[in-house]
Amino acid sequence: MKRIAIIAGIILSVVVAFFGTVKWNVYSQQPEVLLQKLRAGKGDQQDLWMRFNLARGDTVTPMLEALADRSAPAEFRAELIELLARRFSASGRQDEIIAAITAGLADEDPVIRRRAVFCVSVYLDSAHQPDVFEMVADPDLEVRRGVYGILVGTGNARWRRGDRNVINDELWKKMTLEQRQTLVQRCQEQAAKETDEDLRMLALSVVGREIEFLCTQSIEADSRGQIDQAEQLLDQALAIDPASHQARIRLVRHHLAIGRKEEALALAEENGALLRIPRLAAEPRIDGDPSDEAWNSAFRYEGHPFYHATSRFVARQVTGKTDFYIGHRDGKLYLAIIGHEDDLDELVIKCTRRDSPVWQDDSVEIFFDPALQETKAHQFVINAAGALADLNMGSGWISHNYACQYAGKVFEDRGYWACEFAIPADELDKAKITADAVWGLNIMRARIGPASEQCAWWPTYGFSHRYHLYPIAIFEDAEPTSTSAPAGSP
């Protein structure tokens, strides 16, 4: 009997120990217990956060309660804000989580404000984002950086891919006109104060986004036939920044769309958005060498800046130097583009076949929109080896194989590489070079090896295929009239 009692006692002890261990493990896995350890900084913090993320049951309530304790360490509270933001969609408690993030935006500790701004940018879509525009003057530069990013769409941005290729403007539409005007004024003032160049450009980008919003609204007003409203919106954009390339070219194109051609041309010339293409005295030899004397009678764009093609909302000049010559003769367009480089050995030249992805090399891109449709263009891309990709950009990227002459060459002794084109106008959807024709046109260059730089003669604010922002071109000493209605006529 004694032996049986001893065995029974051992078994009972094991059972008690087992269930005690189970009970302790269950207790130690409770969200409240894990949060207490995390708050105190005890144990392996990474392991504790992982266990908390795997914890069962309601984790939102204990997090909200822990976050409300303002005596807790800032890093701990900041981590709670992000964990709550991650649970935003699946928790069913969106209002409470938004309230917690909004409170974090107003917290006195910059560590918490930074994380709250980050969560707004990454985890909340524009429909649920709290107002952050008043934070553009926050004393903490990293908070300002995050707020600028939200306002210009570099965080949780949603692009609306369509005819205009503009960024979604739900966030802008949530603000009243008075709020937007106040935001612009604050960002202009803040840009003047910023000592960090990146922050200064971000502040100006917020201003530029308001200009883009007004220009987009103007386009929509034009489409509804509300001419006066369209002009008022463009006037508002130019009042913010009279030098805005986007607002200026939109005003030019607005005048063209309603039949005010002479006014449009005068305004385009005044603002540097008009390319007068002369008739060449002789036909250039298309061999990649722009030293041919036939180019002497061309329009020559030399020593003037190109602009970052990928810069959103702000026109920024690039450091690289690009020249181009352009003229017409006997129904053909002739172009020569020269890309200057300090070290031509750094050029990236991988593609050698036609219609290969030459835009991934150091290359030049030319876009034509002869009918000013603003929804499609003819694109020619050539690299320094003379490999060409030609595309008809309408509903998609369609290789076209235009009948044209082209060549590209590297000139080590001259410090540049160059390309040349002779393109029959009627290859471009039967376009004509006439005295009354008005075309959309832009020239771009990709510097891949020597510099990570996408640049354009005229800035297109983030995407090279925004045809509605292209400058315009007319032809001098050309045939007097076309058989179809002039481009730009109503």
pLDDT above 70 covers what percent of the chain? Answer: 88
Consecutive H or E run containing 379: strand 377-383
In a domain, 447, yes or no: yes
pLDDT for 229 equals 97
Q: How far is CA 170 from the centre of its chain?
A: 16
Give tens-digit pLDDT for 48-67. 778 877 777 788 888 889 89
In a domain, 97, yes or no: no
What mean pLDDT do residues 340-365 have? 93
pLDDT for 402 equals 82
In a domain, 28, yes or no: no
Q: What is the mean pLDDT of the chain?
A: 87
In a domain, 201, yes or no: no
Could you give the 3-state DSSP secondary structure of residue 158?
coil
Only one residue has tokens 């078994």, namely: 11
Whether pLDDT at 109 is above 60 = yes
pLDDT for 26 equals 38
CA atoms within a 13 Å half-sphere pointing along the CA-CB vector of 206: 33
Give tens-digit pLDDT for 270-313. 999 999 999 999 999 999 999 999 999 999 999 899 999 888 89
What mean pLDDT do residues 366-378 have? 93
In a domain, 358, yes or no: yes
Whether pLDDT at 19 is above 80 = no
In a domain, 366, yes or no: yes
Phi-psi region at 259: left, alpha or beta (left = phi > 0; alpha = psi -120 to 50): left
Q: Is 395 exposed, middle or buried (0-12, 13-18, 19+ CB in 10 A)?
A: exposed
Whether pLDDT at 165 is above 70 = no
Whether pLDDT at 477 is above 90 = yes
Confidence of residue 209 (pLDDT cuts 50, 70, 90): very high
pLDDT for 52 equals 77
DSSP 47-73: HHHHHHHH--S--HHHHHHHHT-TTS-
What mean pLDDT do residues 176-193 have? 95
Give tens-digit pLDDT for 395-444. 555 666 788 899 999 999 999 999 999 999 999 989 999 999 999 999 99
What mean pLDDT do residues 135-160 have? 79
Q: Which residues contact 313 (CB under 8 A, 6 or more apart)?
A: 152, 204, 205, 206, 207, 208, 209, 211, 212, 461, 462
pLDDT for 90 equals 74
Measured distance CA(284)–CA(95) in Å, rounded: 68
Consecutive H or E run containing 149: helix 141-152
Within 10 A of 349 (CB to CB), how many other CB atoms are there? Answer: 19
In a domain, 157, yes or no: no
pLDDT for 29 equals 62
Most confident of the following: 45-59, 168-182, 331-345: 331-345
pLDDT for 408 equals 92
In a domain, 398, yes or no: yes
Total tally of structural domains belonging to the chain? 1
Q: What is the CATH number of the domain that holds 347?
A: 2.60.40.1190
Buried-exposed string 68-90: b where 16+ CB fall within 10 A, e elsewhere = eeeebebebbbbbbbbbbebbee
pLDDT above 90 covers what percent of the chain? Answer: 63
Owning domain of residue 311: 276-475
